[in-house]
A and B are shown apart, each in its own frame.
Chain A
Amino acid sequence: MKLLTTEIKKTRYRKIWLLLLVPLAIQGIWMLFITSHTNQAQLNMGYSNLLYFMSTMNVIIIPIVMAMLASRLCDIENKGNTLKLLYTLEEKGKVFDYKLILGSIYILGFTILQMICIKLVGGIFKFTQMLETHMWIEFIVSTFTVSVILFLIHQILSFQFKNQVACLTVGIGGTFFGLFSMFFPAPFPYFIIWGYYSILSGFRFRNVPAGVMKVYEIPYKTEALFFLAVLGIIIYLVGKKLFLRREV
């Protein structure tokens, strides 16, 4: 517990919540805008639309947010040469683990707030569709898992390269990679973590004549989530090994 306490104390003055609330506000406004432009017929598919829409927006916005979050949390250790001090106070691996734990807590908060935003927009526009339990649980589990793994990747980069440009570049590059991955033939998209916000979304989009519902629900891709988790564990093990190997 004291390791988490100190991690939280270190984030003081770092404006982490601002970093998360700004993209959230953008997404919220965007949702309001989109929803206000849909016709009445679509409102009975309101939540499906928003959940689909949110997963696509996450591909665009979250990678860079995760890069910035990881950089803001980890760079303070590089800047002040603190690892050689921390290593006399706690086990080396825990320095790595607790950064990931703190990041995950922020990401969980962020994801829940996204879900609350969706629900609020639904309330404002009086969606006739029910927000079913499995829908929001799937959304939170998927978004959280993908974001945590992206955070992990950037945490590794942030520790490995003192110059944070590496971390941020991968964040921006990841966005494009994630968007284009949707057009790659199977099984390639499954190896591109940035694209998983879409892959794991319970909704798909179909091009149909105007006025007809375009978003439809598909069975949740549990096996894809499982595969992603395996990728995540591999990245964690490799990243931690690299971290521990570094001499201070």
Chain B
Amino acid sequence: MNYIIETKMLSKQYGNKYSVKQLDLRVPVGSVYGFLGPNGAGKTTSMKMVLGLIKPTEGNVRILGKQLCEKNRITILKNTGSLIESPSYYGHLTGGENLEIVRILKNVSKSEIGNVLKIVRLEEEQHKKVKNYSLGMKQRLGLAVALIGRPKLLLLDEPTNGLDPAGIQEMRELIKSLPQKYGMTVMVSSHLLSEVDQMATNVGIIDNGELIFQDNLSLLHQQASKKIHIRTLDQVKAFEVLNQNAIKYKVEQENIVLPILAEIEVANIVSLLVENGIGITRVIEKQKSLEEIFISLTGKQVSL
């Protein structure tokens, strides 16, 4: 089993619109898989299908090495923990009592409650009723619920929702540490590229229900390769000269963009332009940020 989650052609149709379309997710064992996409991309819908909470219109899910079906669903899911969209809780019970209910259903030892409370740092609040919790505390409780019994696989849907900056940072560090500490695999969704960049080893980008990129995060970084940007006083003439000399280039924001070349080649191109009477104003080495790559992949501006 290389992949702890593997979906084939997973699709969900609402009305005549596909919310998720032919998704082939592959989440490697031991990874932190960042599931990235703008609002409404289909992240929650996909994760719900992986857990069998909603029925796919098409396609299937392999999870923890087994084909998911209604019969084996609960047995398989005993080894998973999840936090989907907003945390689930009984407001009239205390945090500790909420965890106790999940503990009984998951059939794990009582000491586990103390452990998870400690991990999410909610020990002080465990005797308080959950309806009196702040949003961030509820979110922590949701994570504690997911962590009970140290599941092999964790599905977290936008777990940093509602947390303050310190809380967000803490949550990211925590998620990042789970594979080494407890041998868990984590699938975590987010609409923030920077967040995925911080904690994930693998990334899947979903947009409009379709998976448009899926690989190691390092591969995404490689796309962020360096380029040479040249700006001149007479761009039109510069294009002509370059075309005549069969030099390949791209135009971005009126800059001439060249791939990284040997030093001498850059010098030659600059001389060529100067010899043709074109004044050079700037020669810059630029690197595309992950955001720019994300935008060029999805065509969407994302908030950061």
Binding site for B on A (CB under 8 A): 2-3, 5-6, 9-10, 12-14, 76, 79-91, 247-248
Contacts and interface: CB of A to CB of B under 8 A. Distances in A.
A76 B101 contact: no
A247 B54 contact: yes
Given A6-B104, A10-B101, A84-B53, A90 B89 contact: no
Contacts of B145: 85
Contacts of A83: 88
A170 B86 CA distance: 31
Interface string B92-129: 11000100111011110000000000000000000000
B82 A88 contact: yes
Contacts of A12: 92-93, 97
Interface of B: 48, 51-54, 73-74, 77, 80, 82, 84-93, 97, 100-102, 104-107, 130, 145
Contact of B88 (A5, A14, A84): A84
A85 B54 contact: no
Contacts of B48: 84, 248
B120 to A, nearest CB: 16
Contacts of B86: 81
Contacts of A5: 104
A88 B93 contact: no
Given A85-B102, A87-B53, A88-B77, 14 more contacts: A2-B104, A9-B97, A9-B101, A76-B90, A80-B130, A82-B88, A82-B90, A83-B88, A85-B145, A88-B51, A88-B82, A89-B77, A89-B102, A91-B73
Contact of B74 (A81, A84, A90): A90
B74 A91 contact: yes
29 contacts: A2-B104, A2-B107, A3-B105, A6-B105, A9-B93, A9-B97, A9-B100, A9-B104, A12-B92, A12-B93, A13-B92, A76-B91, A76-B92, A80-B91, A80-B130, A81-B85, A81-B86, A84-B53, A84-B88, A85-B102, A87-B51, A87-B52, A87-B53, A88-B53, A88-B80, A89-B74, A89-B102, A247-B53, A248-B53
